A = this chain, B = another copy of it.
Amino acid sequence: MTKVRRSDRLIDMTRYLLERPHTLVPLTYFSKRYESAKSSISEDLGIIRRTFMQRQTGILETVPGAAGGVRYIPTIGRNEASDFIADMAHRLSETDRLLPGGYVYLSDLLGTPEVLRQIGRLIATQFANQQVDAVMTVATKGIPIAQSVSQYLNAPFVIVRRDSKITEGSTVSVNYVSGSSARIEKMELSKRSLQAGSGVLIVDDFMKAGGTVNGMRSLIEEFDANLVGISVFAEGKFAGDRMVNDYTSLIRVDDVDTKTNTLHAVPGNYLDYNQAMFKGMDA
């Protein structure tokens, strides 16, 4: 095999790194793959690092030493994040989304690849520097969000269920108070899906009183795991005391008027909450 040209290396390395976020790739891997000297590979990585930074694609971290290499950390820039959130708030405000009972139809957005990609990037950026060993959500509508975040963080996701399924094996279950209806409900998670001591990020599509998220928090305790954070796509208005305080939301559904059949969505607290992080990126 002949030496691979720089342009070909840059293209293939970019693809290779983008497909493996948060994964340490030793320089020797690239130098073997392209039959090229380590010094050339280092130069290539310098070019990729600069382009990724300029285009706010993410950070290419260098880990020095014998066990070192490079690691790609996907991030999103403040402007792109803010544009996406504004666009989502706008699309959520479309009147035909309002369903009987004041519920909001989200299945189209949460089934669209570009939308899921951006939601994943936003949430993964917030937790890029924390130890996330698993992304947790509850079936069904949280799953696409968990999967997208999981891809950008390169961590597996686990699905909590409200109904018992024979295909999950032994499970651990908790009771929780559904905030909106104040009923006692049950949720469960396959026993083998979470290790004690692991860091868990909770994500979900919609949060009102926070009962479901609170239930997942209890489950994490049952598994002797640690809660890393809570992030939801949209939060709704809730009159009483919320059961969850420390969380981020991309969108807030402010006003739901079932008489005039209108709803009003605005940006959630994500950008404010992460102000310091975005400032650090620009610096």
Contacts and interface: CB of A to CB of B under 8 A. Distances in A.
Contacts of A14: 10-11, 14-15
A148 B103 CA distance: 27
A147 B113 CA distance: 8
A128 interface: no
Contacts of A19: 117
Contacts of A6: 7
A7 to B, nearest CB: 5
Interface string A220-248: 00000000000000000000000000000
Rank and list the top 3 A-B pairs by shortest CB-CB distance, nearest first.
Answer: A11-B51, A14-B14, A139-B140
29 contacts: A7-B47, A10-B10, A11-B14, A11-B48, A11-B51, A12-B51, A14-B15, A15-B57, A18-B18, A19-B117, A99-B168, A101-B166, A104-B167, A105-B167, A105-B192, A106-B167, A107-B158, A107-B167, A107-B168, A107-B193, A108-B156, A108-B193, A111-B156, A111-B193, A113-B147, A116-B151, A140-B143, A147-B148, A163-B163
